[in-house]
Structure 1
């Protein structure tokens, strides 16, 4: 089962890492490996959401999502999107950005360094909004209850996450951005950081709005199908499962693609906190995207989506940490390995807390719906 589901992912990982080591050396090997793990970690909740929706689709549309969808995910968001970000930030054409990366790496590095304050502000705000919307939401399951309970109460205030993000942006513009690191030394990039940060915030709100739109359309389709099914049963007619699946399939597919694109933003933007090499970035994120697809299939086939309940928390804490790191790197340099390890450590801690919680629940009788009295204690002790 494991080999059948993850076989292609294992093969692409081996080829990708070997190519990175052969083409660029062991530093590239390490960065690509960290990026792959980071993408898998940040996109685990993406796989869970995908699996929950994908299981409602018929076999044909599942295949479409796992074939056409992977092309969009890997080549669109993980390869083209980083190039577009660099091109816009450095004010060069996409083809010129790729050509510079190939022919004149020193010039390319200087352009990326000069564009980094804008990239960091845009990405930092986008990631910060993801984290804030998560941490301010009241959830049944809490990992760090001592922190999440009071923040969930504060989250009842409308637009609090936007206000906090804007305050963080203003603080960044008045501190780190006044002495931003560039290829020619430190410069005042306050205006650039403010503009890029607002753009990142707007992008998050637009992507979230599109996701909500497709989710609402999906719910409407499901309600219509349920009413049609009840009516057919009352009249003694048979319900065509294929027709119902096909009726909602297009909106399901669009919704999944928008969701996947929105989840891809955090991986791509977070990758800029680790490296500015777009080829290393595309390779690492592409490998990670393959595992996300394989994990989605695995979760659908196994039928278990909630075994490790704290992983989503760990992924969002990693996103929050990356957002802070991105904003700090506007002025200060932070080693890429340290940046990558922060996310990995948080994910590992949440995974271990989930394992301990499952063992505690199993010992208490296996009722996962029951409130675990030691839940917060277990999580904090990791």
Structure 2
């Protein structure tokens, strides 16, 4: 399983390192390796969330995620997206934007001798708008999860009250828009406030549109579930869904079994397409801060594409597939919760970064902390359920 899932990623990574060495020698090799390791280590929450969506897709769309999706992630988000930002915001022709990226000012300066801003400076100047778009998309994803009325909770002291509040229709949208207005008012300079607001609203609209379309077509497909939004589980926990839809879990079975996710109809056709589109926008939102943060290591777009894309993005996709194939989300019941809390933290950090510079390592460590804590809680819960099952078996006999 491990060789089959990660073999391609290893081959591509070694090839990327070889290209980096031929391109910039040992310095290029080292920078490419650092970027790749950074992307993989800080994107595990992305892989977990991707897995929650991917497990609802047919094998065909899973393969599309691993093939076409990789092309979009590597060339689209890690190479073409920064160039497009510089092209649009700098008023440059695409060829000129690429030439600017490949010929930075000497000594890492922000401007050339004639006063023209560098590629990195133009991209960093667009960070508030990028952060607003990605922050709002991820914030709505987080809010729709924690405001869902779920039977299975991890941080019950806060998730249960939030679930009760979530009965108010469209509360997630209301909260997200209020946060956007506050961020625009208190964190955004007057010169960019309007564009930050527009970018944030576009991020929210993108989430609502893609999520709504994927949910609509999934409900319409034969055998598809007729509840809730696509990214999170339907109302109630996994045990509730299993009991209602399949009748597979009986009251006498251990609690660990009751939390095993039920088989659901794989999304095909239009439903699969919109889930695929949702995954790509989600991956883009996660990659915004990574692309910007990569300039702290090197401004070279080729090395960024090699490290973040050919190594980082492809490994994250392999981790996603591994989680799906192994059924990890069912085995570790709170892992999805931890990933969503990590997303909530990332969304807040993106919005705060409109004004305050936050090191990407800090962002990644917060995500790792939530994932690690939820994983540890899942292990403890599984052990507790195992002891209870053992005691029940002893008492029965």
The Cα of 1:15 is off from its aligned counterpart by 4.9
Aligned partner of residue 336 in structure 2, secondary structure: helix
Inter-partner Cα distance in structure 1 for 2:349 and 2:102: 28
Q: Any stretches of 5+ residues in structure 1 without a counterpart?
A: 179-186, 224-247, 368-382
Q: Is the 8 A contact 1:217 1:251 kept in 2?
A: no
Separation of aligned partners in 1, 2:134 and 2:335: 22
**In the alignment, is residue 199 of structure 1 matched against residue 218 of structure 2?**
no
Match of 2:214 among 211, 216, 241: 211
Normalised to the residue count of structure 2, the TM-score between the two structures is 0.71
Q: Are the counterparts in 2 of residues 273 and 322 from structure 1 also a CA contact under 8 Å?
A: no
Question: d(CA) in 2 for partners of 1:254 and 1:81?
Answer: 22
Q: Is the 8 A contact 1:266 1:319 kept in 2?
A: no
Summarize the Cα distance change of 1:65–1:218 in structure 2 as closer, same or farther, 3 Å threshold.
farther
Of 264, 285, 309, 2:333 maps to: 309
Q: Could you tell me how far apart the structure 1 residues matched to 2:45 and 2:273 are? A: 24
* 1:51 correspondence with 2:51: no
Residues of 2 paired with 1:285 and 1:315: CA distance? 22
Distance in 1 (alpha carbons) for counterparts of 2:217 and 2:304: 29
Partner of 2:318: 294
Query: CA separation in 1, counterparts of 2:81 and 2:5?
Result: 27
Residue of 250, 254, 264 corresponding to 2:283: 264
Alpha-carbon distance in 1 for matches of 2:390, 2:12: 38
Corresponding residue SS for 1:53: coil
Give TM-score, length-normalised by structure 1. Answer: 0.74
Q: 1:297 to 1:114 in 2, by over 3 A?
A: closer
The two structures, once aligned, show a CA RMSD in angstroms of 3.4
Among 32, 46, 50, the alignment partner of 1:42 is 46
Structure 1, 285-294 or 95-104: larger mean CA deviation? 285-294
Shift in CA distance, 252/177, structure 1 to aligned 2, threshold 3 Å: closer
Cα pair distance change 1:34/1:64, threshold 3 Å? closer
Matched, 1:10 2:46: no
Give distance in 1, aligned partners of 2:380 and 2:100.
49
More helix by share: 1
2:131–2:289 contact (8 Å) kept in structure 1: no
Q: Which moved more, 1:65-74 or 1:106-115?
A: 65-74
Distance change >3 Å, CA 16–CA 345, structure 1 → 2: farther
Question: 1:331-371: per-residue Cα shift (whole Å, max 9, x none)?
Answer: 2222222222221222222222222222222222289xxxx
Looking at structure 1, the residues matched to 71 and 221 of structure 2 have their Cα atoms a distance apart, in angstroms, of 23
List structure 1 runs of 4+ shifted beyond 6 angstroms.
220-223
Structure 1 position 108 matched with structure 2 position 112: no
How many residues are treated as equivalent by the alignment? Answer: 332
